[in-house]
Amino acid sequence: MIPADFSYQRATSIEEALGAIAGGDAKFLAGGHSLLPLMKLRLANPTTLVDIGRLTELKGVRQLPDGRFAIGALTTYAELLESPAKHYGLLRDAIPDIGDVQVRNRGTVGGSIAHADPASDLPACLLALDAELVLRSAAGERTVPVDGFFEGAFTTGIRPDELLTEIRLPGPREDAGSAYVALQNPASGYAIVGVAAVVFKGAGGGITGANIALTGVGEVAYRATAVETAISNGDGSDAAIAAAAEHATDGQTVNGDIHADRDYRARMAVVYTRRAIAAALGR
């Protein structure tokens, strides 16, 4: 299909981009892999596209003085996988299966987060990593936790006049292992169920704490806090992991669709939560 008429502006700086987005029905264009198909289907009809794809200050991964990693919003999946942030096992697990080669080389990390597809892999990974997001407007900059940022399907806490400029991940920890596992739709590659786990290990193989996040299950990626509580300060045994995983969908409205009905998806959430925790514990 053909999108509705729109105007196009290529920004040469963040300030110019923010100025162009203010006061109108405009959208930022980065990789375009999510926005342009929606425009062709006329599910999105911005009057103006503000192209930020050449803003080099929004690209790349650097390590901050406190050990955290700062990921520019225009960093592609492929660039993230080759960066120092590949230290995280869950990113090494998730990124190679996102889209295809073209998507991984053109699609941006910031675009994925801002799009907030309820079956996207990256939101669950960032939730499990306790990431922070840097949002900038003409009025200034604010930093928000990723937990709570995803408000619903394709809905986030980004204000209309804001641009996501950076994602910040905690620094590496010797006592932590992480993993991401997913039951994928064989046609699209999207997660029917995806689980990201970060497990903090104590002496003797026990678990002192864990961050568990799921995607594909409901209308938004979420932290499975009941699983985290059940697994923390446990012995890390198969039985303990299995018991904790039973809480994977506590408090959630589980989606049912042509790919997986509600009961099947809920059961797979338990199965893949168990697998993710076990894989993270083994790293």
Name, in order, each residue with C-beta under 8 angstroms of 203's C-beta and a sequence gap of 6 or more: none
Cα-based distances in Å from 115 to 27, 149, 167, 203 = 11, 12, 14, 40
Low-confidence ranges of the chain (pLDDT < 70): 23
pLDDT at 274: 98
Cα-based distances in Å from 95 to 219, 245, 253 = 21, 24, 27
Q: Tell me which residue has tokens 């109108």.
A: 24
State the sign of the Cα–Cα–Cα–Cα dihedral 203, 206, 208, 212: positive
Q: Tell me which residue has tokens 């299950």.
A: 217
Return mean pLDDT, the chain.
Answer: 93
Name the phi and psi angles at 143, rounded to 5: -115, 130
* DSSP state at residue 75: -
Q: How many CB atoms lie within 10 A of CB 62?
A: 13
> pTM of the full predicted structure?
0.93
Q: Of 195, 193, 203, 199, which is closest to residue 211 (Cα–Cα)?
A: 199
Which CATH entry fits the domain spanning 176-281: 3.90.230.10, 3.30.1380.20, 3.30.1130.10, 3.30.390.50? 3.30.390.50
* Percent of the chain that is helix, strand, coil (3-state, to 5): 35, 25, 40
The ranges assigned to domains in the chain are 7-51, 59-169, 176-281
User: Rounded to whole angstroms, how far apart are CA atoms 27 and 45?
Assistant: 9
User: What would the pLDDT profile of 84-131 be if each residue is shown by its tens digit?
Assistant: 988 899 999 999 999 889 889 999 999 999 999 989 999 999 999 999
What's the CATH code, domain 59-169? 3.30.465.10
Instruction: Please report which residue ranges of the chain form alpha helices under DSSP H.
Output: 14-21, 35-40, 77-81, 89-94, 101-106, 109-115, 121-128, 225-231, 238-245, 262-281
What's the CATH code, domain 7-51? 3.30.43.10
- Collapsing DSSP to helix, strand or coil, 10 comes out as strand
